[in-house]
């Protein structure tokens, strides 16, 4: 059905490209300008709206991210249209660390985000809470644990969010889903961020996730630390933050993540 969408949007020359686990992605032209098109069923319209909102937030904070051009429903399908960027996996990781630290300098007076958005295809709740420990408990861990229970996973989950009691980080703009697949580089090596799940929270949550699936090169961490050193206790808190993403992967992709989830819960229980 992408032909109907392209016709409705005035696109031409569409070609399939890689660009996501669950969406159909195309390179096309709009009035002679190369653009990137994401498509899915109409029920994904809100997810695309949330992605566009996150990209605009990153750009306002000074990060390089694709410019969203439009989103909605056309030809019976949800779409997100963005500028086309030639992005590779190799580039200046030190510049990425510096850019991320600068992005984290964008602050709010409370944790959360004006709208809910999505972590993968899972709804991510962002209503504000009184404190950071409450936010991480009620908006991150408890929804994932409840979903895991509904999916049939039996988990012994002690009150690990108590590790955040007394921890009061500045509410920083975070990317929210910062693994290596959601960062890349232009031809000149300049870093780019995409596929965000933004909110105002602890900047450590972003840095923690960069360590989760293989990690970034050391240049990234050295540059970030030079700009804004991480606080004492990060070595423990990073496991609590990554528990959220492991639970989400368990809920999205199945029991292959169950061993990691249980191991992380045991690790956190030992330091409670």
Do the domains at 2-83 and 93-271 have one common CATH topology?
no
Q: Please tell me the predicted confidence (pLDDT) of residue 214.
A: 87
Report the CATH number of the 2-83 domain: 3.30.200.20
Domain 93-271, CATH homologous superfamily name and number: Aminoglycoside phosphotransferase (APH), C-terminal lobe (3.90.1200.10)
Please state, in angstroms and as integers, the Cα–Cα distance from residue 248 to each residue in 90, 177, 196, 215, 237, following that order. 27, 11, 15, 18, 18
Angle between helices 234-253 and 258-271 (to 10 degrees): 150
Supply φ then ψ for residue 19, to 5 degrees: 175, 15
Q: Which two tokens stand for residue 102?
A: 């600068």
Once rounded to an integer, what is the mean pLDDT over residues 134-155? 97
Say how far apart CA 240 and CA 168 lie, in whole Å: 15
Q: Quickly state the pLDDT bin for 18 (edges 50, 70, 90).
A: confident
Residue pLDDT, tens place only, 214-230: 899 999 999 999 999 99
Q: Please tell me the predicted confidence (pLDDT) of residue 128.
A: 96
Above 60 in pLDDT, residue 1?
A: no
Above 60 in pLDDT, residue 179?
A: yes
Question: Among 92, 177, 195, 206, which one carries the catalytic annotation?
Answer: 177
User: Does 195 participate in catalysis according to the annotation?
Assistant: no
Q: Where are the domains of the chain?
A: 2-83, 93-271
């Amino acid at each position: 059905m992408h032909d109907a969408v392209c016709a409705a949007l005035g696109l031409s020359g569409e070609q399939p490209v890689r660009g996501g686990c669950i969406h159909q992605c195309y390179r096309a032209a709009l009035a002679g300008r190369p653009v990137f098109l994401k498509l899915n069923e109409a029920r994904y319209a809100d997810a695309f709206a949330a992605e566009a909102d996150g990209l605009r937030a990153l750009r306002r904070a000074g990060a390089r991210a694709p410019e969203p051009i439009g989103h909605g429903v056309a030809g019976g399908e949800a779409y997100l249209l963005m500028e086309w960027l030639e992005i590779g996996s190799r580039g200046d990781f030190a510049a990425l660390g510096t850019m991320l630290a600068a992005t984290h300098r964008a602050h709010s007076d409370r944790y959360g985000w004006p709208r809910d958005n999505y972590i993968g295809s899972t709804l991510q709740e962002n209503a504000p809470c009184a404190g950071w420990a409450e936010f991480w408990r009620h908006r991150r861990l408890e929804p994932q644990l409840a979903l895991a229970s509904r999916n049939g996973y039996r988990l012994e989950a002690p009150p690990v969010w108590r590790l955040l009691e007394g921890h009061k980080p500045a509410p920083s703009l975070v990317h929210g889903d910062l693994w290596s697949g959601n960062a890349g580089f232009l031809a000149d090596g300049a870093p780019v961020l995409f596929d965000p799940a933004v909110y105002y929270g602890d900047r450590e949550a972003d840095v923690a996730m960069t360590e989760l699936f293989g990690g970034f090169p050391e240049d990234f961490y050295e540059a970030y630390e030079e700009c804004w050193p991480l606080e004492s206790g990060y070595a423990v808190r990073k496991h609590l933050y990554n528990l959220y993403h492991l639970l989400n992967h368990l809920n999205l992709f199945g029991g292959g993540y169950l061993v990691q989830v249980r191991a992380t819960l045991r690790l956190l229980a030992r330091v409670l």
